[in-house]
Amino acid sequence: MPPKKEQAPNEGIKTDSAQPTKTPVIAEPGPLGLIGLAIAALVLASTDLKMASSIARSLMIPWVLFFGATAQLIAGLMEFRRDNVFGATVFSVYAMTMYSIALTLVVIHFTNAQIDVTHYAYGLIGILVFSIIVTAASVMTNKTFFAILLMVDLAVASLIPHYLLEISSLPAGVFLLLTSVLSFYGAAAILLNTMVGKQILPLGKALWTPERNRK
Classify residue 97: in a domain, yes or no: yes
Phi, psi of 180 (to 5 degrees): -65, -50
Domain of residue 145: give its range: 30-206
Classify residue 214: in a domain, yes or no: no
Q: Are 76 and 91 in contact (CB under 8 A)?
A: yes
CA atoms 146, 152, 155, 158: torsion sign: negative
pLDDT at residue 13, rounded to an integer: 38
Classify residue 211: in a domain, yes or no: no
* Residue type at position 13: I
The percent of the chain in helix, strand and coil, each rounded to the nearest 5, is 65, 0, 35
Classify residue 25: in a domain, yes or no: no
User: How many domains is the chain partitioned into structurally?
Assistant: 1
Classify residue 161: in a domain, yes or no: yes
pLDDT < 50 stretches in the chain: 1-5, 7-17
Classify residue 20: in a domain, yes or no: no
**213: alpha, beta or left? (left if phi > 0; alpha if psi -120 to 50):** alpha
Q: Which residues contact 64 (CB under 8 A, 6 or more apart)?
A: 40, 43, 44, 98, 101, 102, 105
Q: Are 37 and 177 in contact (CB under 8 A)?
A: no
31 vs 29: CA distance, rounded Å: 6
Classify residue 149: in a domain, yes or no: yes
pLDDT at residue 14, rounded to an integer: 42
pLDDT at residue 150, rounded to an integer: 98
**pLDDT tens-digit map of 177-186:** 999 999 999 9
Q: Are 32 and 71 in contact (CB under 8 A)?
A: yes
Classify residue 9: in a domain, yes or no: no
173 vs 167: CA distance, rounded Å: 13
